[in-house]
């Protein structure tokens, strides 16, 4: 549900733009405001997740998230739609710190990469349903009806989950470790996988090393989100502008992008348990950047665009489970929520900035030129990883 609603607005943007009479920059703000709330509240949500029942936090957040989108579907003006989406983002901010900390707590270090991959795969399934469901309903009715109906389903889901009596699986959680011993253990494990080289020389102080590691992962997650959200926010609008297809048909390359994303999380989630992570990250960022940049010269054919964006989705999202696995390696039961809150804040910041920056580029220079700008982000990330590897 969280991933579904995080992608509820982009597939509807062409219709929202026409209905409200707004430009790409304003449309991008509708996406950005959702992640502004993520950026502000994910760290507090992570702290709460460390001190309370994570499942209660997830259920409450889901209710608020779906309720906000329901309000957006009923809002009469651009300003009120913006406010309602912000409320939805506040609810959505609770999920990742709580949900990912549960995975980190109950999985062993040798399987956490695979578990993170499965988690992202299911989440991207929610992403996949968004353009299919919302695009289909909007084609038959309108964007407000599509968003409203989906929001009601989300509210019902949260109520059913609450009534099911799901609770924190305390017996399955890892035995608690002190933060100092955990970081020391993770230091040894990550060094074996080559991450010591990736982050540069280890600092003498565990605390200082931990801070440097957080900064490194924070930047990687930020750049990943900046790139991935740049593509997925404007993909449907890009296809519409180049092909003049209806929104329901133009969403099919978007669906292909999300299918490729889901495939990537399964494959690279497992690989992240076995292969040097800096090699995976540098390579996938670089190849994804090349693919995104080449989008502007891909022939305007629906079949070709579907295949192309499937490949691009696979390349772009290959980095996601690797970053999440590395985050899990440094967390324990006592601090996992807070740690994922910090790293997911980077993701939220990318979600805030990406639609605004690339929306402004699309407004000023045309939407086709926004994609090479997105590709530059991947180039920067790949170069940064290589530079740190050489230090």
- Can you tell me the mean pLDDT for 94-120? 64
- Cα dihedral sign for 357, 362, 367, 372? negative
Q: Tell the burial category of 99 from Cβ atoms under 10 Å away from its Cβ (0-12, 13-18, 19+).
A: buried
CATH code where residue 199 lies: 1.20.1250.20
246-273 burial string, b = 16+ CB within 10 Å, else e? ebbebbbbbbbbbbbbbbbbbbbbbbbb
The DSSP string of 365-382 is H-GGGHHHHHHHHHHHHH
- Whether the per-residue pLDDT at 134 is higher than 70: the answer is yes
Question: How does pLDDT run across 140-186, given as a tens digit for each residue?
Answer: 888 888 888 888 888 888 888 778 765 544 433 433 333 334 434 44
Mean pLDDT (the chain, rounded)? 75
- pLDDT at residue number 100: 63
* 171 found inside a domain: no
- pLDDT at residue number 114: 62
- pLDDT at residue number 313: 92
Q: Per mean pLDDT, which range of 195-199, 221-225, 373-377 is the poorest?
A: 195-199
* 285 found inside a domain: yes
Q: Tell me how crowded residue 43 is: count the other CB atoms within 10 A of its CB.
A: 21
Structural domain that includes position 117:
2-166+177-390
- Whether the per-residue pLDDT at 308 is higher than 90: the answer is yes
Q: What is the percent of the chain where pLDDT is above 70?
A: 71
Question: pLDDT-derived band of residue 337, with 50, 70 and 90 as boundaries?
Answer: low
* 17 found inside a domain: yes
* 172 found inside a domain: no
Question: pLDDT-derived band of residue 86, with 50, 70 and 90 as boundaries?
Answer: very high
Number of separate domains in the chain: 1
């Amino acid at each position: 549900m969280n991933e579904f609603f995080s992608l509820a607005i982009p597939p509807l943007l062409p219709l929202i733009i026409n209905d409200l009479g707004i430009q790409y920059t304003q449309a991008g703000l509708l996406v950005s405001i959702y992640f502004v709330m993520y950026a502000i509240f994910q760290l507090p949500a992570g702290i709460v997740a460390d001190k309370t029942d994570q499942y209660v936090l997830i259920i409450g957040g889901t209710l608020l998230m779906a309720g906000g989108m329901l309000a957006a579907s009923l809002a009469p003006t651009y300003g009120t739609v913006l406010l309602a989406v912000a409320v939805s983002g506040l609810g959505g901010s609770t999920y990742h710190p709580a949900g990912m900390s549960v995975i980190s707590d109950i999985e062993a270090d040798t399987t956490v990469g695979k578990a993170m991959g499965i988690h992202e795969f299911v989440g991207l399934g929610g992403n996949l349903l968004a353009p299919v469901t919302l695009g289909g309903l909007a084609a038959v009715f309108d964007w407000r009806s599509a968003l409203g109906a989906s929001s009601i389903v989300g509210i019902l889901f949260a109520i059913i989950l609450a009534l099911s009596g799901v609770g924190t699986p305390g017996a399955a959680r890892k035995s608690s470790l002190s933060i100092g011993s955990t970081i020391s253990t993770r230091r040894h494990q990550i060094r074996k996988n080559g991450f010591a080289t990736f982050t540069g020389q280890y600092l003498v102080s565990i605390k200082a090393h931990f801070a440097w590691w957080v900064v490194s992962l924070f930047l990687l997650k930020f750049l990943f989100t900046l790139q991935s959200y740049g593509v997925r926010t404007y993909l449907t609008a890009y296809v519409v502008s180049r092909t003049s297809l209806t929104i329901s048909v133009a969403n099919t390359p978007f669906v292909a992008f999300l299918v490729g994303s889901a495939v990537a999380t399964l494959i690279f989630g497992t690989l992240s348990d076995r292969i040097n992570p800096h090699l995976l990250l540098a390579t996938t960022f670089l190849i994804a950047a090349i693919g995104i940049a080449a989008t502007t010269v891909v022939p305007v054919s629906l079949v070709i665009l579907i295949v192309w964006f499937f490949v691009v989705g696979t390349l772009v999202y290959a980095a996601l489970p690797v970053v999440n696995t590395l985050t899990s390696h440094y967390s324990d039961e006592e601090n996992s929520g807070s740690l994922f809150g910090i790293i997911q804040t980077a993701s939220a910041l990318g979600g805030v900035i990406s639609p605004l920056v690339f929306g402004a580029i699309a407004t000023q220079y045309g939407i086709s030129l926004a994609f090479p700008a997105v590709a530059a982000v991947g180039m920067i990330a790949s170069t940064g990883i290589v530079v740190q590897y050489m230090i």
